Structure 1
Amino acid sequence: MTAAGLMRRRPGYYLVRMSLIAACYAAGWAAFALLGDSWWTLAVAAFLAVVFGQVALVAHDVGHRQVFRLRRASAWAGRIAGNLGIGMGYGWWQDKHSRHHANPNHVELDPDVEPDVLVWTRGQARAAKGLPRLIGGSQAYLFFPLLALEGINLHVAGVRALADRSLKQRRQEGLLLFTHFALYLGALFVVLPPGKAVAFLAVHQCLFGLYLGSIFAPNHKGMPTLTGDDRPDFLRRQVLTSRNVRGGWFTDLALGGLNYQIEHHLFPSMPTPHLRRAQPVVRRYCQELGIDYLETSLLTSYRQALRSLHDAGAPLRSAVAVTKA
């Protein structure tokens, strides 16, 4: 990939991409201020939900050092986009995401498959307590409604992480995070009456969470999970637990290049626009080695994820049936 130039940074691409997103961000808030006390601001809330999702995707690329060569520049760009821009704790997210990349879909090592609200395996279902036990049997039906809360979850997790003394640059993280909350809530409740401000908040945060969750859900959900000492080599660990989503330029734009999840996991610092070019090389190499390489449509990826969630919750449905009997 290096010889083909696919690991080379693309400053021009990211300059244009980040400038366009910044312009949309500014335009959204300008429209919010100009509309003022109007229910049309809910349309602005929906627009800004998509913009916030795109900012999160930029923070993701920055976190993988696809944009800047220096770690310090990447960290500050990530904090400005994440903490200040959308209220997401960048330091907390980067730590969590790095552990995910090292061991995707490993039940004990990947924080993305911890049974905090949902259960991802039948083993987790059998051991579930509290909320996961309560909703696990029906979690496939609740998955997308729960994604609407993902935006709020990002805010809460970022604030909670500030109590962790191991978090780097805690003061800067906290200052930027609470500056975002102050400006965001201040704008809502100064420009809008309380009822409309709450409605804007609900529409914006729920659609932001739904969009963000819908971007990440196709990547690994429903793919094989690992446990214990079940850790294949790097290539198989990344390819067999990841799923690509086929599509054209709109899919690339909407999913931020994460539809090439296999290539991204194999080469996390590869700039987003190079992932499409890397795909045929990776797919051909996997075919030569006899490694399953999965690519589906977006709808099929959701079906597979929901089917897996439904299967994982089977022990909880059986327990309810036995109790009723």
Structure 2
Amino acid sequence: MKSAAVSKSSTLDRVLVLEMVRVTEAAAVAASKLIGRGDEKAADHAAVEAMRKAFDELYMDGTVVIGEGERDEAPMLYIGEKVGGAPGKGPKIDIALDPLEGTTITAMAGPNALAVLAAAEAGCLLNAPDTYMDKLAVGPGYPEGIISLEKSVTENVTAVAEAKGVKPADITVCVLDRPRHADIIAELRSLGCGIHMISDGDVAGVIAVTDPETGIDLYMGQGGAPEGVLAAAALRCVGGQFNGRLVFRNEDEKARARKWGIEEKDFDRVYKLEELAKGDCIFAATGVTSGSLLEGVKVRRDGTMTTESVVMRASSGTVRWIKGEHRLG
């Protein structure tokens, strides 16, 4: 499904969309070597290092706006870091990334670990602080404004059910399996809804609402704000609606938000899809472990590695599914 029209003079016209897949492929392949090894940090480090190296091969002047943390917390892919092989020359692009979305999943060989990134023209991605975010998402084909974080769980489920022509009990909702979601789960159970619980990886969880084959109608719950921006970029490309509201647990998190340009008046703001990711944007993801969205990295007997990726673009509404073979070393 095509998204809202965007400018034909997009800076991203000068960046090959498929090149972004090479970046997520590199991170996924590197992380895959640590699947099931029980070492989250090693898996994440491998993905970060591979993604950073792959960025340097692209002709662009990129800036990380959502990354591995602040400079003193992350040696590579930190917020504000310049990436790309053409600093000061190539198109200026903002990058949101998670080299390994699902570090615990990877360490434990669970499903839905991904290497993901979003790219947009400078200033088009919300510079979200590393806090929690209340998230609510629904797939394409519904009236605008059908969901809202200012409504209750029951009101949102009922609205989607009525638009779909089914009962609330026929709606399936994806929820991250965390104690903080006990009230959401209890309310969904009272409606008789199906609940698809995931242990981690809420970018894949949000994107699942856009694919009828998953059977998931809604995504609800609290997860990382940076991941919310990544998911919003994907929805911008394929359709759907998203609400996000930053959640602050202490004054330090509020100070971080101010540092990255979030004003105090917006601390309780409900961000809509195009306020998180606007204009033309690209979303790319490669599976590390197999899940609802993508197959994970596989190693054949001859040493060849196979990957499955998806790359989306907002301006064209194009979604490409890409299978790769990597003959290494």
Which of the two has greater strand per residue?
A: 2
Which of the two has greater helix per residue?
A: 1
Q: Do both share a fold (TM > 0.5)?
A: no
TM-score, normalised by the number of residues in structure 1: 0.26
TM-score, normalised by the number of residues in structure 2: 0.26
Larger radius of gyration: 1
